[in-house]
C-alpha cells in the first residue's frame, strides 16, 4: 500500500525559524531527517521524498480563456492567504498497512526543534488511490 505523508508548516516562512537556531540544533534536526530517510530507504519503504519551496514562490493557476490545450492560464500569488498552514514537503512510502504509515508519520512529526524537544509538526497521511506513469 502506498501512502503520501504530507508535512505541514506554519504560516510565515514555513521553516520553523530554523535559520535562527544554533548550528548544533540545526545539525541535530538535519541528522534526524537523514536518519529517518535512510531507514525508510534501507527498509525499501521510501518511494519518493520532496521538499517544496516557501509559500512566497507559490502560484495559483486557473484556466482562463480558451479550452483544452489552448486555454490561457490565469496566474495569481499563492497559497491562499487564509491558510493557517501550507504543504512544506512530502514522502511517498510503500508499506504493508496503514498502521506502518501512521508509525512513520509519528516518527517524522517528532523531529527535534531548537531545544531538542520534538516539534510535533502535523503530518497528513493519505493512501495513494492510483499511480500512473
- Overall average pLDDT of the 17-36 stretch: 91
By percentage, how much of the chain surpasses pLDDT 90?
Answer: 51
Alpha-carbon distance 22 to 45, whole Å?
32
Alpha-carbon distance 91 to 51, whole Å?
9
Given this model, what pLDDT does residue 63 score? 85
Domain assignment present for 7: yes
Domain assignment present for 40: yes
The pTM (predicted TM-score) of the whole model is 0.82
Q: Is the peptide bond before 130 cis (omega within 30 degrees of 0)?
A: no
Domain assignment present for 132: no
Strands 123-127 and 2-10: antiparallel
Domain assignment present for 133: no
Given this model, what pLDDT does residue 85 score? 75
Domain assignment present for 94: yes
HSE (side-chain half, CA atoms, 13 Å) at 19 = 3
Alpha-carbon distance 5 to 49, whole Å?
9
Domain assignment present for 44: yes
Q: Could you report the per-residue pLDDT of 41-86, keeping only the tens digit for each? A: 999 999 999 988 877 778 888 888 877 777 888 888 765 656 677 7
Domain assignment present for 6: yes
Nearest to 111 by CA among 13, 27, 45: 27
3-state secondary structure 46-76: EEEEEECCCHHHCEEEEECCCCHHHCCEEEE
Domain assignment present for 86: yes
Segments forming the whole domain that contains residue 96: 2-127
| Tally of domains within the chain | 1
Bridge partners of residue 114, in order along the sequence: none
More confident residue, 14 or 122: 122
Alpha-carbon distance 79 to 52, whole Å?
12
CATH number of the domain within which 76 lies: 3.30.70.1060
More confident residue, 129 or 12: 129
Amino acid at each position: 500500500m502506498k501512502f503520501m505523508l504530507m508535512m505541514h508548516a506554519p504560516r510565515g516562512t514555513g521553516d520553523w525559524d530554523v535559520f535562527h537556531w544554533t548550528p548544533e540544533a540545526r545539525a541535530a534536526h538535519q541528522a534526524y531527517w537523514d536518519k529517518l530517510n535512510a531507514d525508510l530507504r534501507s527498509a525499501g519503504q521510501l518511494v519518493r521524498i520532496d521538499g517544496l519551496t516557501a509559500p512566497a514562490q507559490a502560484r495559483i493557476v486557473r484556466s482562463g480563456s480558451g479550452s483544452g490545450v489552448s486555454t490561457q492560464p490565469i496566474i495569481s500569488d499563492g497559497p491562499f492567504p487564509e491558510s493557517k498552514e501550507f504543504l512544506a514537503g512530502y514522502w511517498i512510502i510503500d508499506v504493508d498497512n496503514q498502521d506502518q504509515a501512521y508509525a512513520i508519520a509519528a516518527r517524522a512529526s517528532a523531529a527535534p526543534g531548537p531545544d531538542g524537544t520534538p516539534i510535533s509538526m502535523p503530518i497528513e497521511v493519505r493512501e495513494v488511490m492510483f499511480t500512473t506513469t
